[in-house]
Amino acid sequence: VNLTAMCSRARGKVHAIIDARAAAAKEEITLAFQRLRRARNLPPIALSSWKYAKLPARFQCPECGGRLIFEVNEWSTATGTPTPGGISVMCEAEEKELWSAMQQERDPEWQHRSWQSDWMPVVRQVERFCASRVRIYE
């Protein structure tokens, strides 16, 4: 009987059980948080000094299908509601490329075309999302 191998298999199983339970607990916490937020009529995303965040996965880059991020440039100081037209929507992958090019003092290897016709529908969706779900606190 190889005790070391048995222990290693058992440890693997224990880790798998812990990982599965942790994932289930996270899911439960997320759902409970969403229920409470709706019950108390709270916006789920509150931005303070850092005024950008990643959008949920259902929002996709119209050019590469990747995740999007948004930045709020204008908002109502009374309510914290982002102003339509005061929200920038950016492709996460493109922002990473631009950032790393800047860090390395080189030209970006690629960039999106950023055509209005491609981006406008997504920007409108993000504006609606921000109006109902995002508040800025200072």
Task: Give the binding site for Zn ion (CB under 5 A).
Answer: 61, 63-64, 66, 91
Residue 42 to residue 135: CA distance in whole angstroms = 9
Neighbouring residues of 108: CB distance < 8 A, sequence distance ≥ 6: 97, 98, 101
Neighbouring residues of 76: CB distance < 8 A, sequence distance ≥ 6: 83
Complex with Zn ion: residue 11 or 54, whichever CB lies closer: 54
Complex with Zn ion: residue 93 or 131, whichever CB lies closer: 93
Complex with Zn ion: residue 40 or 113, whichever CB lies closer: 113
Instruction: In angstroms, give the least distance from the CB of 62 to Zn ion.
Output: 8
Instruction: In angstroms, give the least distance from the CB of 21 to Zn ion.
Output: 36
Determine which helix (DSSP H) or strand (DSSP E) holds 72, and give its type and residue range. Answer: strand 68-72
Instruction: With beta carbons less than 8 A apart as the criterion, state whether 51 and 71 touch.
Output: yes
For residue 90, the Cα-to-chain-centroid distance in whole angstroms is 11
Instruction: In angstroms, give the least distance from the CB of 6 to Zn ion.
Output: 49
Complex with Zn ion: residue 34 or 114, whichever CB lies closer: 114
Instruction: In angstroms, give the least distance from the CB of 60 to Zn ion.
Output: 8
